[in-house]
Amino acid sequence: MKKFLLLALLTSALTLTAQTDQRIYDIIDAVSPERIESDITKLANFGTRHTLSDTVSTTRGIGAARRWIKSEFEKTSSECNGCLNVFYQKDLIKKGANDRIVKDVEVVNVLAIQKGTKYPNRYIIMSGDIDSRVSDPTNFTDDSPGANDNASGMAGTLEAARVLSKYQFENSVIYMGLSGEEQGLFGGGGVAQFAKDQGWEVIGIFNNDMIGNITGVDGTISNVDFRIFSEPVPPTETEAQRKARRFYGGEVDGVSRQLARYVHKNVKQYMPEMNPMMIYRLDRFGRGGHHRPFNDAGFPGIRIMEAHENYTQQHQDIRVEDGIAYGDVLEHVNFEYAAKLTAVNAINLASIAWAPPAPTTVKIGGIVEPAAKFQWSKVDGAKGYKIYWRDTTSPTWDYSRYVGDVSEFILEGIVIDNFFFGVSAVGENGFESPVVFPNGIFR
């Protein structure tokens, strides 16, 4: 009797340990609020990082800032036997490209690529922004510390590179600083085009834009709430895909939404103290961010950011008016919180970079039948597959079944009409790909 109990306990302990990976907890612990504070301080002290600002000075302007960012990535690389390939990607934007480009400017991004061991051409990306602005978007001389917008996202990206460069991944990871965000998302546009030209398979991008403010303009204070923005379906879909959606579903199941759900689920698993809020829209109302140009190119991409914004501390000339101190200055940034959101990124970069690719084809059947049926294309490196489903009104994949190393399965008793479904690939190490919503039908 005792023997059986012990065996049962042992088995359940083994099962439990198989559900989580200690390395993910180690990654969370390794993110340093002190290094993030030091980096945000350094970035804010470049005076202004406006895209059109000075590029010659060694202490002020966007030129000095990007050279420092590049040197930080290079320092990280030198501590992992050169595991990062660090370089500038740039495009000349001509005066008049829009109202905010008041002179010719070279928009320069900094990329650090950690090559994957098994799928080197597949990339999961974390980005922050180098540039900043004050009230007038064309004012490229006044002090514009941009401590939260977006030194916080940039510092988080530098820190994620330091932490994750201690590991090796099957897929490639890119850490990048983008410029020209405030002038019209030019840096993201440049890298998205570069990725297409290079033939990169982009698994997704986590755009971090403002990850350091915990005090909302409405007085709400929370150091655990944060938002994950994702658009419902890609803007690149065809008319045929749009029409098919009307009959087969998928209005809230585009590739970026699946990436958002992946992050949400992983955070609930590994950082239960946090409160991830999935926001079902591309971005804040009428506002922009650097994931958009990637979405425009057909790549999955989400925006990760604080939940409670303070508009008196964004895009503002530094001043006091009616007793309110305006300006995006250091004292408003909560470094512990920025570290938590950096950890959110790092654990999801790692989980996806350790996972096999998702099946490219997932077909669903079961019309007028008492069972839902699935067929999918197998992927190299998967130990098996997991079918997910949820009530049509639920935002999260609430039910799942691991079905092993097969390429088709029938869920008996589950009526196709009453749920939405998806399939993921699971690696030997337990890490999973994002869920794929069915992209084909069979009888």
Using the contact rule CB under 5 A, the part of the chain among 52-60, 144-152, 163-171, 195-203 near Zn ion is 144-152
Q: Which is nearer to Zn ion, 152 or 258 (CB)?
A: 152
Q: 439: cis peptide before it, omega within 30°?
A: no
Smallest separation (angstroms) from Zn ion to the CB of 269: 31
| Ramachandran area for residue 296 (φ above 0: left; ψ -120 to 50: alpha; else beta) | alpha
Q: Site for Zn ion (CB under 5 A): which residue of 21, 39, 72, 149?
A: 149
Q: Encoding tokens for residue 388? A: 């997910």
Smallest separation (angstroms) from Zn ion to the CB of 339: 21
**Interacting positions 232-271 with Zn ion (CB under 5 A):** none
Q: Which is nearer to Zn ion, 37 or 149 (CB)?
A: 149
Smallest separation (angstroms) from Zn ion to the CB of 315: 6
Q: Which is nearer to Zn ion, 289 or 357 (CB)?
A: 289
How far, rounded to the nearest angstrom, does the alpha carbon of residue 332 sit from its chain's CA centroid?
24
Smallest separation (angstroms) from Zn ion to the CB of 142: 15
Q: Which is nearer to Zn ion, 149 or 283 (CB)?
A: 149
Using the contact rule CB under 5 A, the part of the chain among 146-154, 186-194, 195-203, 415-423 near Zn ion is 146-154
Contact yes or no for 381/356 (Cβ under 8 A): yes
Using the contact rule CB under 5 A, the part of the chain among 149-157, 169-177, 233-241, 257-265 near Zn ion is 149-157
Q: Which is nearer to Zn ion, 137 or 249 (CB)?
A: 137
Contact yes or no for 348/262 (Cβ under 8 A): yes
Count of chain residues binding Zn ion (CB under 5 A) = 1
149, HSE (Cβ side, Cα atoms, 13 Å): 23
Smallest separation (angstroms) from Zn ion to the CB of 71: 25
Residue 439's closest CA among 258, 205, 262? 258
**Interacting positions 342-361 with Zn ion (CB under 5 A):** none
Q: Encoding tokens for residue 4? A: 């059986």
The whole-angstrom separation of Cα 346 and Cα 341 is 9
21 binds Zn ion (CB under 5 A): no
The whole-angstrom separation of Cα 211 and Cα 352 is 21
Determine the residue type at 395: P
The whole-angstrom separation of Cα 312 and Cα 306 is 15
300, HSE (Cβ side, Cα atoms, 13 Å): 25
Smallest separation (angstroms) from Zn ion to the CB of 182: 5
Contact yes or no for 84/145 (Cβ under 8 A): no
Q: Is 269 helix (H, G, I), strand (E, B) or coil?
A: helix
Smallest separation (angstroms) from Zn ion to the CB of 181: 6
Contact yes or no for 30/22 (Cβ under 8 A): no
Smallest separation (angstroms) from Zn ion to the CB of 411: 46
Residue 255's closest CA among 389, 427, 439, 419? 439
Determine the residue type at 5: L
- The closest residue (CB) to Zn ion is 149
Using the contact rule CB under 5 A, the part of the chain among 27-35, 145-153, 198-206, 333-341 near Zn ion is 145-153
306 binds Zn ion (CB under 5 A): no
The whole-angstrom separation of Cα 199 and Cα 78 is 28
Q: Which is nearer to Zn ion, 132 or 334 (CB)?
A: 132
Smallest separation (angstroms) from Zn ion to the CB of 418: 43
Residue 177, Cβ density class (10 Å: 0-12 exposed, 13-18 middle, ≥19 buried): buried
The whole-angstrom separation of Cα 283 and Cα 210 is 13
Q: Which is nearer to Zn ion, 39 or 149 (CB)?
A: 149
Smallest separation (angstroms) from Zn ion to the CB of 200: 26
Using the contact rule CB under 5 A, the part of the chain among 43-51, 142-150, 236-244, 339-347 near Zn ion is 142-150
309 binds Zn ion (CB under 5 A): no
Which string of x and - marks every residue 193-212 that binds Zn ion (by CB under 5 A)?
Answer: --------------------
283 binds Zn ion (CB under 5 A): no
Q: Which is nearer to Zn ion, 207 or 266 (CB)?
A: 207
Quickly count: other Cβ atoms within 10 Å of residue 383's Cβ.
14
Residues 6 or more apart whose Cβ sits within 8 Å of residue 112: 73, 76, 77, 84, 85, 86, 161, 174, 175, 176
Q: Which is nearer to Zn ion, 178 or 414 (CB)?
A: 178
Q: Which is nearer to Zn ion, 149 or 159 (CB)?
A: 149
Q: Encoding tokens for residue 425? A: 């690939």
Q: Which residues bind Zn ion (CB under 5 A)?
A: 149
